[in-house]
Amino acid sequence: MSTTLPFAPAEAHPNYLNANYGWKSWLFTTDHKRIALLYLFSITAFFFVGGAFAVGMRLNLLTPEGIFDHDTYNKLFTMHGIIMVFFFLVPSIPATLGNFLVPLMIGARDLAFPRINLLSWYLYIVGGIIALTAVVQGGVDTGWTFYAPFSSMYSNTHVILTAIGVFISGFSSILTGLNFIVTIHTMRAPGLTWNRLPLFVWGHYATSLIQVLGTPVIAITLVLLGLERLLHAGIFDPAVGGDPVLFQHLFWFYSHPAVYIMILPGMAVISEIIACFSRKSIFGYTFVAISSIAIAVLGFLVWGHHLFAAGQSMYASMAFSFLSFLVAIPSAIKVFNWTATMYKGSVSYETPMLYAFGFIGLFTIGGLTGLFLATMAIDVHVTDTYFVIAHFHYVMVGGMVMAYMGGIHFWFPKISGRMYPEGWAKFAALVVFVGFNLTFFPQFLLGYQGMPRRYAHYPAEFQVLNVMSSAGASILAIGYLIPMIYLGWAWRNGPSAPQNPWNAKGLEWEQSPTPPPTFNFEHQPVVNEPAYNYSGGESEVHIGG
Amino acid sequence: MADSQSILAHAPELQHHFDDSAQQFESSTLGMWIFLVTEIMFFGGMFGAYTVYRNLYPEAFASTSRFMNVTVGAINTGVLIFSSFTMVMAVRSAQLGRKKALIAFLFLTLLLGCVFLGLKYVEYHEKWLDHHIPGSGFQYEDSRYVRQAQVLFFLYFAMTGMHAVHMVVGVGLLTTLIVMAARNRFSSAWFTPVEMIGLYWHFVDVVWIFLFPLLYLIGHTT
């Protein structure tokens, strides 16, 4: 590629894409919008790397005997998990859409710390390269959870290198969260009070709290793991008085809240899409906003439900079980309020809305099966089976990735200044929905019948459902490849987008040109109405107020 | 905020995306405090592990605490508390725009930080000579507690080592501040880096204030 990147047509108004050209203007940019695009491209690359490992797993599981030996299969599922969790899901929506939109939505010219924002992308890339180096060198086989003492004593794979990669990329996540919190506190436009904040911003605020409070704990856990692997002092080795369950506590203290890092931004996107395409203000705005914070807070109190079968005290398990049920309440508030928002709204069926429908249905299934798992008696039956796999893929792929795709389509005109082909997009959304369900619904049945996760081979009686799942995975893969093609095409060749193609509310659509100029707004935006004021009412009440 | 007006009056360091210096200062301060919260969580993981093992092995704990050098630890505690005082004086000098005093107090803080690290080296060297470094060369005097003691020394080195890493970073940051001060980058209107790194320095001191009694004093028997 030459040094000029003709992303935007020459006649377009001055914007962040045509402000300057050349690789230096991208790699040394402090513009949050350009950093968001850097993240978008690198995260997409990691998504397909992680997906490639999943392809290997599904190929292997087509037949009971499989095509890979146990060691290879262990590495496949480990690297699928590590890449997808730490290098795709955690940064996915916050680092791309959040980075792009949080300053626009609150009427700021940039995030509070633009250079730290760029630093966070570099940390992500360095961490990612180190993790990929471990992959190329032969991979790692501990599972994405790095459970000790296997990871600290027995595994002969590149545990330390991978842990260093995850450790470094963790700081990228911390810095993004820190930047968002400070920006949302100090840089809101005049009139944009907390109870007028778009729910997208509320969701990212809650996500940032988790990133800031949780990620340091996984960082120190990985440091201890690495030291233990070097010194063999036995801190996680039960044979010499160490406590392996302590590792699980420390690990899940981050990693359970981290699953809310992997869903709250998705919920944030869905709130925007549902309100826009129902042409109504969100039902129960305050409840939806506060439920994000409630999920973030309660999320820190439930990690023990990963340890029901790990020798945790029964009373601790009962408390964790009860607290896990509590998290369902704010999650359900969101689902009910989205549904109520659509009730008697003038609902239209553009692509982002199709993904939002998918999100609501699939997240509900994922969330409700989470309640099965929070119930101790059922959890003991299905621990480490495909039931668990299906549950969290319904939340993370059915929830988060659906929301990510919906958000990418919804804000694609804003980001690129172009429209995507609606027909292809609707088709791809349908393919993703069908492929997803065919992949993961059979896994609920497999898990309930007792097929354990993380095994390369399985009894012949499970083959039919596994073939269905693999077939679904291939459909799902096509569903993800189609948008790659038409979005890439539309980026250069799509028809120019008007400033507000969806007639959506919000500063990013109403007061910022499309695509936005480098400093986002031509005039200081002022907010004088509540969020999602689609009915147009109430705004007079607030003017001058 | 009384001094926000004076910040407003003179704004050579205002970045383009902030409306005014007061907003910029508020953002820096909030950002620094949130960073310190992440540091608390970072050390919190190790304090959690410490609590678990202390409860599991109280006797072994009492046994290992005999090998902690309380004298050096106590001197180091004093050194750090005094360095917090010199850091506060540095911030005060920056506020008043006294360049020479600022550089002097920053230098004194830097020196005290180096004294701390030097004494820490002495302690680590002692542990090395006593074969108390966890790993294949580990030996322990009381045969009942060899394995548990190794876990506890592991925690000792992890916690004080991570603290020492933060001290080294602090020394680097102080050096940067001294260079910046010598180049007249600070004025009574803008000295945000001095104040932010001051917060960091105090945080690292406070961590040691917790480490010293937990590792050296509790369960100490002669």
Quote the CA–CA distance of B148 and A235 in Å, as a whole number: 9
Residue of A nearest to B20 (CA): A187
Residue of B nearest to A111 (CA): B17
Please say whether the beta carbons of A139 and A78 come within 8 A.
yes
Q: Which residues of A touch B148 (CB under 8 A)?
A: 241
CATH number, domain at B130?
A: 1.20.120.80
> In terms of Cα–Cα distance, which of A315, A348, A530, A331 is closest to A426?
A348
Quote the CA–CA distance of A507 and A362 in Å, as a whole number: 30
Mean pLDDT of A198-227: 96
> Which domain covers residue A57, as residue numbers?
33-542
Residue of B nearest to A179 (CA): B31
Mean pLDDT of A103-131: 96
The verdict on residue A465 lying in a domain is yes
Mean pLDDT of A390-416: 97
The verdict on residue A16 lying in a domain is no
Q: Give the SS3 label for residue A2.
A: coil
Residue A424's identity, in one-letter code, is W
Decide if pLDDT at A537 tops 80.
no
CB atoms within 10 A of CB A433: 21
Total domain count for chain B?
A: 1
Quote the CA–CA distance of A177 and A117 in Å, as a whole number: 10
Residue A537 CB contacts under 8 Å (≥ 6 apart), including other chains: none
The verdict on residue B6 lying in a domain is no
Q: Which residues of A touch B38 (CB under 8 A)?
A: 174, 178, 212-213, 215-216
The verdict on residue B12 lying in a domain is no
Please say whether the beta carbons of A333 and A284 come within 8 A.
yes
Indicate the pLDDT class of residue A114, thresholds 50, 70 and 90.
Answer: very high
pLDDT value at residue A190: 94
pLDDT tens for A301-330 read 999 999 999 888 999 999 999 999 999 999
Q: Which residues of B touch A242 (CB under 8 A)?
A: 151
Q: Looking at CA atoms only, how far is residue B155 from chain A in angstroms?
A: 8
Q: Which residues of A touch B26 (CB under 8 A)?
A: 186
pLDDT value at residue A19: 87
Mean pLDDT of A372-396: 95
Residues A339-374 as b/e (b if ≥16 CB within 10 A, e otherwise) read eebbeebeeeebbbbbbbbbbbbbbbbbbebbbbbb
**Dihedral sign computed on CA atoms, order B4, B10, B16, B20:** positive
Quote the CA–CA distance of A439 and A468 in Å, as a whole number: 7
Selecting from B30, B38, B155 the residue whose C-beta is nearest the C-beta of A186 gives B30
Decide if pLDDT at A2 tops 50.
no
pLDDT value at residue B221: 61
The verdict on residue B3 lying in a domain is no
Quote the CA–CA distance of A298 and A292 in Å, as a whole number: 10
pLDDT value at residue A55: 96
Indicate the DSSP class of residue A397.
I
Mean pLDDT of A90-108: 96
Percent of chain A with pLDDT over 70: 96
Scanning the structure block, which residue is given the tokens 């031509």? A522
The verdict on residue B13 lying in a domain is no
CATH number, domain at A323?
A: 1.20.210.10
Total domain count for chain A?
A: 1
Q: Which residues of A touch B127 (CB under 8 A)?
A: none
> In terms of Cα–Cα distance, which of A225, A68, A216 is closest to A161?
A225
Name the interface residues of B facing A (CB cutoff 8 Å).
15-18, 23, 26-27, 30-31, 34-35, 37-39, 41-46, 48-49, 52-53, 56-57, 134-136, 138, 147-148, 150-151, 153-155, 158, 162
The verdict on residue B8 lying in a domain is no
The verdict on residue A11 lying in a domain is no
Query: Which of residues 209 through 228 in chain A touch B, CB cutoff 8 A?
Result: 212-217, 219-221, 223-224, 227-228
Backbone φ and ψ of A408, nearest 5°: -60, -40
Start-to-end CA distance of chain A, whole Å, equals 53
Quote the CA–CA distance of B98 and B10 in Å, as a whole number: 17
Please say whether the beta carbons of B24 and B207 come within 8 A.
no
Q: In whole numbers, what is the pLDDT of chain A averaged over residues?
A: 93
Quote the CA–CA distance of B99 and B122 in Å, as a whole number: 35
Residue A101's identity, in one-letter code, is L
Q: Report the Cα A153 to chain-centroid distance in Å.
A: 32
What does the longest C-alpha to C-alpha distance in chain B come to? Answer: 69
Phi-psi group of A216: left, alpha or beta (phi > 0 → left; psi -120 to 50 → alpha; rest → beta): alpha
Quote the CA–CA distance of B138 and B140 in Å, as a whole number: 7
Quote the CA–CA distance of A435 and A426 in Å, as a whole number: 14
Scanning the structure block, which residue is given the tokens 């205002």? B14
CA angle B143, B149, B151 (to 5 degrees): 140
Quote the CA–CA distance of A442 and A322 in Å, as a whole number: 29
pLDDT value at residue A5: 45
Q: In whole numbers, what is the pLDDT of chain B averaged over residues?
A: 90
pLDDT value at residue A11: 53
Transcribe A352-387 into DSSP letters.
HHHHHHHHHHHHHHHHHHHHHHHSHHHHHHHTTBHH
With a cut of 50, which residues of chain B have pLDDT below it? 1-10
A496 DSSP β-pair partners: A418
Count, in order, helices (H) and strands (E) of chain B: 7, 0
pLDDT value at residue B48: 94
Indicate the pLDDT class of residue A542, thresholds 50, 70 and 90.
Answer: very low
Quote the CA–CA distance of A200 and A105 in Å, as a whole number: 9
Residue A202 CB contacts under 8 Å (≥ 6 apart), including other chains: A268, A288, A289, A292, A293
Q: Which residues of B touch A33 (CB under 8 A)?
A: none
CB atoms within 10 A of CB A229: 18
Q: Looking at CA atoms only, how far is residue B207 from chain A in angstroms?
A: 15
The verdict on residue A230 lying in a domain is yes
pLDDT value at residue A119: 97
Size of interface A-B (CB pairs under 8 A): 113
The verdict on residue B1 lying in a domain is no
Quote the CA–CA distance of A16 and A30 in Å, as a whole number: 11
A385 DSSP β-pair partners: A452
**Dihedral sign computed on CA atoms, order A64, A66, A72, A73:** negative
